[in-house]
Amino acid sequence: MALSVYMFFFFSLLIFWCLFIKKHKKPKSTLTLPPGSMGWPYIGETSQLYSEDPNVYFALKQKRYGPIFKTHALGCPCVMLASPEAAKFVLVTHAHLFKPTYPKSKELLIGPSALFFHQGDYHTKIRRLVQNSVSPERIRKLIPFIEAEAVSTLESWVSAGQVINVFQSMKKFSFNIGILSVFGHLESNYREQLKENYCIVEKGYNSFPNRIPGTTYSQAFLARRRIQEIIREIICKRKEKRLMEEDLLGLLLNYKDEKGQTLSDDQIADNLVGVVFAAQDTTASVLTWILKYLHDHQKLLEAIKDEQIAIYEANDGGKKPLTWSQTRMMPLTYWVILESLRMASIISFTYREAAVDVVYEGYLIPKGWKVMPLFRNNHYNPEYFKDPHKFDPTRFQVAPKPNTFMPFGNGVHSCPGNELAKLNMLILIHHIVTKLRWEVVERHGGVQYSPFPVPLHGLPARFWMSH
């Protein structure tokens, strides 16, 4: 019996490998594919890509093969590009040759009409609406509400009187801010329903795409359907009340193209979910790393405190709210955010797909292959950042060279909400350093990749009021 099982597994693997060779055999061309290893049949190098230390994984690849190399991940042949020039080529100057791409299973959970699955006219008009919803004029008005959420978050840490999983708490904070920017002041019952179902979707996002009832992916798929119904109900109420809000939902609802056509409810829902999804884990991860870096660099923490206490005292001991101009007067805090974005490099790379056969640096990138510009490699390249493994916020006193620092991507598909994300960080840091003291419980903890790099166990820490 055991032998037959092994034989079945062996022949299944052999069939997969033959199909792989047939589908991805070297194109008939005088040009050559980039060097590299395609890993195991069918599986490729997916596990190494998502479970190993990306600094080590990408550095070894680049040392062995150079700045352009091929691999196989998530069932797809890929070309990885590890230079600022390559990132600019793919994301900016020749962006029309590469289309944004995600696995179909992930696309279904976010929504096929979401902004970052598209290019062309549809992408342009939705991106413009998203940018308008997080314009400086709009996010200035959000400052009091972000402050209220920040204060509430810190009070929950202190009142708990126990060890806090910082990453999980930061996820709640960034989710609530995301809901605020998308829906405005949403009724609490809708907010809780969205949060409950969103958590289920999130758990299934990186799971094996299996529709068998009871599996993580199947549960996520059903939760995504429930989110669609909740958003439809919210839209229906907005239309009944004829509300003209300036949040993202309002802008999407009021949109009409040159022919007078509006967006469908499904298109609106997909983009709302997409924006919240894009913002939550990335912002939460960076905030978690910021707390770790400040804890590990006490002199820097004291300097940050001095900068923030000056603003705190100017606001009558925190009795007055922060102003937009004050958030623009936090240079050291802002450099800490930028250096944390560089060091953590939450997004190590981005996915594109070659829309046609592309030749780059003498190598052929065949049509249909995934193309992955590597941000992390640039962020840790000593040619662009001296002593790249050293946490040094003052390096950002001088702007980095173009296309070497891309924490929010680059080109037409860069993150449109990056200014809101940085504002969230500035406000939360202000309240943390002026109100709290904290101690990281696992001082020598490692890093976990799931799939974003975060401190091991979410950075367990205790918090106290500082005065």
Annotated binding site for heme: 415
User: In 10 A of CB 339, how many CB atoms?
Assistant: 22
| Distances in whole angstroms, Cα of residue 232 to Cα of each of 237, 278, 419, 465 | 9, 21, 29, 42
According to DSSP H, which parts of 81-165 are helical? 84-88, 104-110, 121-133, 136-160
State the number of CA atoms in the 13 A half-sphere of 119 facing the CB. 15
Distinct helix (H) and strand (E) counts, the chain: 17, 12
User: Which segments are annotated as binding site?
Assistant: 415
Q: Is the CB of residue 312 less than 8 Å from the CB of residue 318?
A: yes
Question: Measured over all CA atoms, what is the biggest interatomic distance in the chain, rounded to whole angstroms?
Answer: 78
Amino acid in the structure at residue 90: V
Q: Is the CB of residue 377 less than 8 Å from the CB of residue 81?
A: no
d(CA 412, CA 90): 11
Q: Is the CB of residue 426 less than 8 Å from the CB of residue 103?
A: no
Which residue reads 């939550």 in tokens? Answer: 280
d(CA 172, CA 198): 11
Amino acid in the structure at residue 211: R
User: In 10 A of CB 161, how many CB atoms?
Assistant: 10
| Distances in whole angstroms, Cα of residue 187 to Cα of each of 179, 183, 192 | 11, 10, 9
For residue 103, say if its preceding peptide bond is cis, omega within 30 degrees of 0.
no
Q: Which pair of tokens denotes residue 131?
A: 């940018």
